[in-house]
Chain A
Amino acid sequence: MPRVVRVNLADPLRAARRQAVSVSVATGLYGVSFGALSVASGLDVAQTMALSLLLFSGGSQFALIGVVGAGGAVGAAVASAALLGARNALYGAQLAPLLALPTSRLLPAAQLTIDESTAVATAQPTRAAARVGFWWTGAGIWVLWNLFTLVGALAGDRLGDPRRYGLDAAAAAAFLALVWPRLGGPQGRTARLVAAGAVLVALATTPVLPAGVPVLLAAGVAVLVGVLAPALPPTGPVNDDEARPAPADTARGTGEGGTT
């Protein structure tokens, strides 16, 4: 745990820790659904656990098993996971000046850089509280996410045909829940347009392209809009030039099951 100055700062630190614990429990719990869906899409328990332990980014993990489950090739699965993981690089860039960590802490900090730890850290009033919020949220989710992934994977292993239990529909619902917080509000207008375009592209090309490729092609829609439309306001929980996003952004990122 980080060395934090405790004099006069007890309250923000305690508040940060409390927030971290509640976010960790809420996020860690849905590791159950990841574990069950992962074995339903053809990964074994060890591969499922490797994803939660090593990859540790919910959106990328769900994307990988989604592409693999649809029969996609290794390249398409890795590309989908990496593209969804790209936003973690932006979070790292937000966190680096905020946390000002010593080099020795960079590797663990990088591994714990996800939606929720970034949201909690950037919502704190002081650097000390931001550090507490980051480490407690990141480590708390890592432990609980892996614990509940194991529970889900072991349970899913015993279920048999995943369709009988509606697990294929559960996977679709999981993706919907991950994208939902990014579509709301007046700023979500561009996001909703891009989402609609992505759905159309993915469905239109599915009958003619190998599995996994339609999803990547849909990402191309976003790149086109993002690069070519200069006047549009930013979307999603990443603020462009603020080290600390507005409280509304943070609440949206943590409260409604943002992508881990």
Chain B
Amino acid sequence: MTALWIAVLLSSVACFALKLAGHLLPRHWLAEPRVARTAALVTVALLAALVAVQTATDGGRLVLDARVPALAVAAVALALRAPFILVVVLAAVTAAGLRLLGMP
């Protein structure tokens, strides 16, 4: 089995176990405000870090290329309450267009 399949299946099992645990665990275990707040913040931190890595790094190096203006366009679209799919498409079109014009 390839490493990718292992990652796919292990993640699936782990995420299902987490979902099921919520339904089965005694409620007060997870009702502790600090647990709820930490979980919400972990979600924010992971997604924010993924934005940064996906926008400004390439193979372990920091780089500035067409992805940065594309992300700015996405942010404007989000501020204007555009739907998810449109935000993603606008970012792709921006980056593709800028690269067509010679930007790395």
Contact = CB atoms under 8 A, between A and B. Distances in A.
Contact of A86 (B18, B20, B44, B55): B18
Nearest to B40: A236
A90 B49 contact: no
Contact of A177 (B4, B22, B30, B78): B78
A97 B24 CA distance: 10
Chain A interface size, under 10 / 10 to 19 / 20 to 34 / 35 or more:
35 or more
Contact of A176 (B11, B20, B75): B75
A222 B42 contact: yes
Contacts of B74: 169, 172-173, 176-177
B102 interface: no
A206 B59 CA distance: 9
A58 B55 CA distance: 19
Given A85-B18, A93-B30, A106-B20, A165 B85 contact: no
Contact of A175 (B23, B50, B93): B50
A134 to B, nearest CB: 12
Nearest to A95: B23
A92 B23 contact: yes
Contacts of A169: 55, 66-67, 70-71, 74, 91-92, 94-95
A78 B6 CA distance: 9
Contacts of B30: 89-90, 93
Interface string A191-221: 1001111110111001100010011001101
Contacts of A47: 4-5, 8
B23 A106 contact: yes
A123 interface: no
Contacts of B62: 203, 206-207
Contacts, number: 350
B35 to A, nearest CB: 8
Contacts of B42: 83-84, 86-87, 219, 222-223, 226
A113 B23 contact: yes
A77 B10 CA distance: 10
Contacts of A71: 59-60
B101 interface: no
A214 B53 contact: yes
Contact of B51 (A51, A74, A170, A172): A172
Given A50-B9, A106-B20, A172-B70, A198 B88 contact: no
A243 B12 CA distance: 27
A55 B84 contact: no
A74 B89 CA distance: 29
Nearest to B38: A226
A84 to B, nearest CB: 5
Contacts of A227: 34, 38
B11 A77 contact: yes
Interface of B: 3-12, 14-16, 18-25, 27, 29-57, 59-62, 66-67, 70-71, 74-75, 78, 81, 83-85, 87-97, 99
Q: Across chains A and B, which 8 residue pairs bring their CB atoms closest together, nearest first?
A: A92-B22, A226-B38, A236-B40, A166-B95, A257-B84, A173-B91, A169-B95, A218-B49
